[in-house]
């Protein structure tokens, strides 16, 4: 089974085409938003593990879960020394969003930790830079099911080897691949091809 990067889940949530371009076609470009996100993660990444009030804070934790077919790097894992409980913590540049993709990404991290340690991970947290607050996330059965369903969708997209056609939307303005993807141009090309086909059908009739 192909191992999928945890970051593919986030890219898929943003745009399935972006996910395929990055993870199958190895296209990458940096814009202001990805640079900001990278800077935030680099700040989180730096620093040795530290222990405060019985909790060990492990940064940039590499995970690889064979059965799930997922691997990646977690921003932080809090390890409660007295109980052995593990809690993934993910840092986000923006603020909480109405869709719960951030929760799904965090839950996928928890599933990786569970597979690797054999321990139940029942809670994690999202930390939002813009609103500077930490949101506890419980890994309920429904969130777990939803996360597994998303992992299956991403796997099927990437294993298909197909790159979906662009669907232009306001999210494209924030996409690091806008220049390379050219969603407006491709849409125009497809419309032109469609009209040409219609004319052909009419003249053949």
What one-character DSSP code corresponds to residue 15? -
- Residue 18 contacts ligand SF4 per CB under 6 A: yes
Among 8, 13, 17, 86, binds ligand SF4 (CB under 6 A): 17
Q: Which of the ranges 31-39, 62-70, 80-88, 167-175 carries the binding residues for ligand SF4, by CB under 6 A?
A: 167-175
Q: Is 118 left (phi over 0), alpha (psi -120 to 50) or beta?
A: left
- Residue 13 contacts ligand SF4 per CB under 6 A: no
CB-CB contact of 170 with 26 (8 Å)? no
Cα 119 from Cα 116, distance rounded (Å): 8
Contact flags string 115-154 toward ligand SF4, x per CB under 6 A: ----------------------------------------
- Residue 15 contacts ligand SF4 per CB under 6 A: yes
CB-CB contact of 89 with 53 (8 Å)? no
- Residue 157 contacts ligand SF4 per CB under 6 A: no
- Positions in 174-193 near ligand SF4 (CB under 6 A): 175, 177-178, 181, 183
Cα 7 from Cα 108, distance rounded (Å): 10
- Tell me how crowded residue 146 is: count the other CB atoms within 10 A of its CB: 15
- Positions in 91-110 near ligand SF4 (CB under 6 A): none
Q: Reduced to 3 states, what is the DSSP secondary structure of residue 51?
A: strand
> In the complex, which residues of this chain contact ligand SF4 (CB under 6 A)?
15, 17-18, 21, 166-167, 171-172, 175, 177-178, 181, 183
């Amino acid at each position: 089974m192909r191992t999928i990067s945890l970051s593919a889940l986030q890219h898929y949530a943003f745009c399935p085409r972006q996910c395929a371009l990055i993870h199958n076609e190895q296209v990458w470009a940096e814009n202001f938003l990805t640079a900001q996100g990278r800077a935030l993660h680099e700040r989180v990444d730096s620093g040795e593990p530290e222990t405060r009030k019985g909790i060990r804070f492990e940064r940039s934790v590499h995970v690889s879960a064979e059965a799930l077919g997922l691997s990646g790097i977690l921003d932080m894992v809090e390890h409660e020394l007295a109980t052995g409980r593990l809690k993934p913590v993910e840092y986000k540049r923006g603020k909480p969003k109405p869709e719960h993709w951030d929760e799904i990404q965090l839950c996928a991290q928890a599933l990786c930790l569970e597979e690797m340690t054999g321990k139940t991970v029942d809670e994690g947290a999202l930390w939002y830079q813009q609103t500077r607050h930490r949101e506890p996330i419980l890994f309920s059965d429904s969130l777990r099911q939803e996360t597994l369903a998303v992992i299956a969708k991403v796997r099927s997209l990437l294993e298909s080897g197909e790159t979906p056609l662009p669907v232009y939307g306001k999210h494209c303005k924030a996409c690091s691949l806008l220049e390379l993807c050219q969603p407006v141009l491709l849409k125009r090309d497809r419309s032109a091809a469609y009209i040409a086909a219609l004319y052909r059908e009419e003249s053949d009739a």
